[in-house]
Structure 1
Amino acid sequence: MAMIVVKRSCTPPGSPHISERPIPTRTSTSRRKLFGRSIVSAVKEENRWRSLGVSTVELNLPLTVVTGQTFRWRSTGASQYTGVVGSHLISLRQCREAISFLVHTPDEHDNAEAELRDYLNMDTSLEKLYADFNLADVRFAAVSPYLTGARLLRQNPVECLFQFICSSNNHISRISGMVEFLASKGCHLGTVEGLDFHAFPSLEQLASLTEAQLRDAGFGYRAKYVVGATEALLSKEGGGEEWLLSLRQLPLEEVVKSLCTLPGVGPKVAACIALFSMDQHHAIPVDTHVWQIAVRYLLPELADRSLTLKAHQEVQDAFVKRFGTYAGWAHTVLFISELSSQQNLLPQHLRSPKKQNVKSKRKVKALLLEAESGDEHKVKSKRKVKALFTERVAVE
């Protein structure tokens, strides 16, 4: 019987002998050359993520940073958002039941974490507030299990002010573009996933923008409000930012009254600024969504009325009566429950009815564009435009 011998060497017979060379041990320098600096940097950055020490019951990122409180956070990965807090470039990541964060400038970590916690209002227990609100209101109790972790932010008042001047009669994607244009005038802090991030500009930096530049950038009639508000704040004794911060110490009525002296700020925008940056936890910004909530669940007698200043105050009072001193936090959850972008989180029986068809949305949008371009005289009935402004559903 022939015997087959399998040689360990794969060198064919008659080939010259090739000595085996040991595989060299790679140093950190050779690894960088082999894999590239970007991969090594990515590994180091991944190791710098830290737990924020809160669960998604206390902070749900998609329900907090991209639902209309602010327009500065951008998606930079799966369940990951990047934004600017003060002068810090920070990423937040939601994994399972925990939240982690990354400060992109390592030597600023400790100070940045303290500012982040202040920005996120982490001293307030959301779980406790939800429990109280559930007892106070049937609608809140119905939707809250599907909208846990919708936390209220505590933003810088200057940044918050200009964001909401941009928000007037606008939709989220366009507002975000305007806010990013303003932010681009501030200090560049870094790039994450190809996106540039800037610290929000100072009033002095904003003052370099002209109305013409802003109109060219798509701000429309809001351009004059940005310029006017900047000039008004710069004229304040002691400085505009200091003046805005001082409003945190005043009652809500005085805060709203003071803010309404600035160009481009009406009661609704003033209430947004008060709620999201000035510790006025019971402020209620009343827009189309909130008006519908009030009519449907709190004040049905308002159904046939227009959204006047008096009606705005009635809605404010009704929310505070129902939810107490943190009524603005409850308002935020109910507001999110009305957003078309969040309706899929709710079971069918809790979703809001759609009252306006696509055709009427387009009509409203066309009228808004006419008014914005200064061609309001083309519209036969200004009263009709005003009614549509009040009743319109934001095109998102």
Structure 2
Amino acid sequence: MRSWSPVQHYKHHPQHLMAHAVALKSSCTPPGSPQCHLRQIPTRTRSSCRKLFGPPIASRTPEENRWRSLGVSPKELNLALTVVTGQTFRWRSTGNSQFTGVVGSHLISLRQSSEEVSFLVHSRDEDASVEEELRDYLNLGTLLEDLYAEFTLADVRFAAVAPYLTGARLLRQNPVECVFQFICSSNNHISRISGMVDFLARQGPFLGTVEGIDFHAFPSLEQLSSLTETQLRDAGFGYRAKFIVGTVEALLSKEGGGEDWLLSLRKLPLDDVVKSLCTFPGVGPKVAACIALFSMDQHHAIPVDTHVWQIAVRYFVPELADRSLTLKVHQEVQEAFVKRFGKYAGWAHTVLFIAELSSVQNLLPKHLRSPKQQTGKTKRKAKALLSEDASIENEEKVESKWEVKGLTVAEAIVRTERKSLLKRKGKALFPSD
């Protein structure tokens, strides 16, 4: 086979030399000239673009631009008076007038402005049902301004505090989540309740982190069933540990599933709902009323605690001041609220309850703030409130007292020994004459 050099090749095949010269000229011709013949760029698919350039531009939209309005005025929804005043313990402050929490399986932030409330879903694959779920959770189907107008005409106290507490709305929570939150709330304070609820929530799917705070979807009953009483006690639940375990077992035994059974209670009269809920360990009349009011559409349920009892005696039924709060008196307080405010008495109760909170007192003028000191009679009556834990053994009651004070028996012993040591040192430094 003959081997030719390029020069010899073009000498014997001049047509090839002409073709190469034309190709070279076309490649060097400035863009826009008539002789320019650009090579066609192949069309890329969406998947090939994603490999080259990362996620589509739409999914990389800055988070600030993904906030959407709920179309709700502050008169219809005041976040600070709704999501962090004791109805739920799942929302956290994550910015100026901003709160973050979980609705179903969605991690959501809510932001209050002087004109509206907007929301942000932190998931990238947001679906169309999220806003509908959020509106249902916030009970936006009920017009709050209309209720405030009715309550203002019905009661002098409500009329006095309402202008300073507009937008305090009732939530419509998932019943499973609500049940376990309020079992944790028994004889407890908000910061500790929140810690317990967070511990339970961590058994559910992780949804994300906002401002350094981790959020989880609330676990299913099956997921909660993996927790033992020992684990819960080690986590600081105390005697409530066996209530959590017992209620999980009771709900799992319900025909058709515990969550569906709880949802079915929404269709029953309030008395039947309370009786059904009180069959669970750790659930008494007050806790049952909270669950009914905040998750089961029982708008006239009245959870009677110290604050509510004082409100009733002070403004509605002063004749109850000399009586102990038995089940019968508990019912009379419930009836007094319903008689005054009607079928949405629970909503009015919530506003009056919020007006008693120390964290809200600065929103009220001084003449409307709650008395700082109680009378001896009121203190005695407060101590006589119906116990939610009547079935607890004596040693558990003692344990709960230590827990409320934030002490353990070991810490108490250390304190006693420290005091004794200081006393001995004092005597050594300043011996008596």
- Structure 2 length as normaliser, TM-score? 0.74
Query: Relative to 1, partners in 2 of residues 1:193 and 1:215: Cα closer, same or farther, differing over 3 Å?
Result: same
Residue 213 (structure 1) aligned with residue 231 (structure 2) = yes
Query: Relative to 1, partners in 2 of residues 1:303 and 1:89: Cα closer, same or farther, differing over 3 Å?
Result: same
Q: Which residue number corresponds to residue 96 of structure 1? A: 114
Query: Relative to 1, partners in 2 of residues 1:322 and 1:185: Cα closer, same or farther, differing over 3 Å?
Result: same
Q: Which residue number corresponds to residue 273 of structure 2? A: 255
Query: Relative to 1, partners in 2 of residues 1:377 and 1:249: Cα closer, same or farther, differing over 3 Å?
Result: closer
SS in 2 for 1:196: strand
Match of residue 223, structure 1, among 210, 216, 241: 241
Match of residue 59, structure 1, among 73, 77, 84: 77
Letter in 2 for 1:85: V
SS in 2 for 1:256: helix
8 Å Cα contact 2:238-2:399 kept in structure 1: no
Residue 181 (structure 1) aligned with residue 202 (structure 2) = no
Query: Relative to 1, partners in 2 of residues 1:67 and 1:372: Cα closer, same or farther, differing over 3 Å?
Result: farther
The answer for unaligned runs of 5 or more in structure 1 is 1-36, 365-370, 380-396
Distance 2:112 2:332 in 1: 38
Distance 1:375 1:263 in 2: 14
Mapping of residues 39-78 of structure 1, within 5 Å: 44-78=62-96
Match of residue 83, structure 1, among 81, 98, 101: 101
Q: Which residue number corresponds to residue 232 of structure 1? A: 250
Question: Per-residue deviation at 1:41?
Answer: 9.4
Mapping of residues 238-277 of structure 1, within 5 Å: 238-277=256-295
Deviations along 1:131-152, one digit per CA (max 9) or x if unpaired, are 0000000000000000000000
Q: Which residue number corresponds to residue 108 of structure 1? A: 126
Distance 1:375 1:322 in 2: 39
Question: Per-residue deviation at 1:95?
Answer: 1.3
SS in 1 for 2:245: helix
Q: Which residue number corresponds to residue 164 of structure 2? A: 146
SS in 1 for 2:274: helix
Question: Per-residue deviation at 1:108?
Answer: 2.0
Deviates more, 1:79-88 or 1:298-307: 298-307
SS in 2 for 1:341: coil
Q: Which residue number corresponds to residue 395 of structure 2? A: 374
Identity %: 80
Distance 1:42 1:352 in 2: 50
8 Å Cα contact 1:178-1:219 kept in structure 2: yes
Residue 308 (structure 1) aligned with residue 326 (structure 2) = yes
Q: Which residue number corresponds to residue 199 of structure 1? A: 217
Query: Relative to 1, partners in 2 of residues 1:313 and 1:174: Cα closer, same or farther, differing over 3 Å?
Result: same
8 Å Cα contact 2:239-2:396 kept in structure 1: no
Distance 2:202 2:316 in 1: 42
8 Å Cα contact 1:221-1:373 kept in structure 2: no
Query: Relative to 1, partners in 2 of residues 1:54 and 1:236: Cα closer, same or farther, differing over 3 Å?
Result: same
8 Å Cα contact 2:144-2:169 kept in structure 1: yes
Deviations along 1:102-124, one digit per CA (max 9) or x if unpaired, are 01114324211100000000010
Deviations along 1:217-257, one digit per CA (max 9) or x if unpaired, are 11111111000000000011111001000000000000000
Q: Which residue number corresponds to residue 164 of structure 1? A: 182
Distance 2:237 2:371 in 1: 32
Q: Which residue number corresponds to residue 136 of structure 1? A: 154
Deviations along 1:313-342, one digit per CA (max 9) or x if unpaired, are 001001000000000000000000001111
Distance 1:90 1:42 in 2: 18
Distance 2:308 2:267 in 1: 26
The answer for unaligned runs of 5 or more in structure 2 is 1-54, 384-391, 401-433
SS in 2 for 1:107: coil
Deviates more, 1:97-106 or 1:180-189: 97-106
SS in 1 for 2:355: helix
Mapping of residues 303-342 of structure 1, within 5 Å: 303-342=321-360
Deviations along 1:339-389, one digit per CA (max 9) or x if unpaired, are 1111111000000102359xx9xxx9xxxxxx999265799xxxxxxxxxx
Q: Give me the CA root mean square deviation.
A: 2.3
Deviations along 1:13-57, one digit per CA (max 9) or x if unpaired, are xxxxxxxxxxxxxxxxxxxxxxxx9xx999710000001100100
Match of residue 120, structure 1, among 116, 120, 138: 138
SS in 2 for 1:285: coil
Q: Which residue number corresponds to residue 311 of structure 2? A: 293
SS in 2 for 1:374: helix
Match of residue 283, structure 1, among 297, 301, 307: 301
Distance 1:373 1:111 in 2: 49
Question: Per-residue deviation at 1:191?
Answer: 0.7
- Structure 1 length as normaliser, TM-score? 0.80
8 Å Cα contact 2:92-2:101 kept in structure 1: yes
Distance 1:280 1:69 in 2: 14
8 Å Cα contact 1:221-1:372 kept in structure 2: no
The structure that has the greater radius of gyration is 2
Distance 2:326 2:189 in 1: 22
SS in 2 for 1:307: coil
8 Å Cα contact 2:101-2:109 kept in structure 1: yes
Distance 1:312 1:204 in 2: 35
Distance 1:109 1:53 in 2: 19
8 Å Cα contact 2:251-2:258 kept in structure 1: yes
Distance 1:215 1:61 in 2: 33
Q: Which residue number corresponds to residue 389 of structure 2? A: none
Distance 1:375 1:112 in 2: 43
8 Å Cα contact 1:160-1:277 kept in structure 2: yes
Letter in 1 for 2:297: D
SS in 2 for 1:189: strand
Deviates more, 1:132-141 or 1:91-100: 91-100
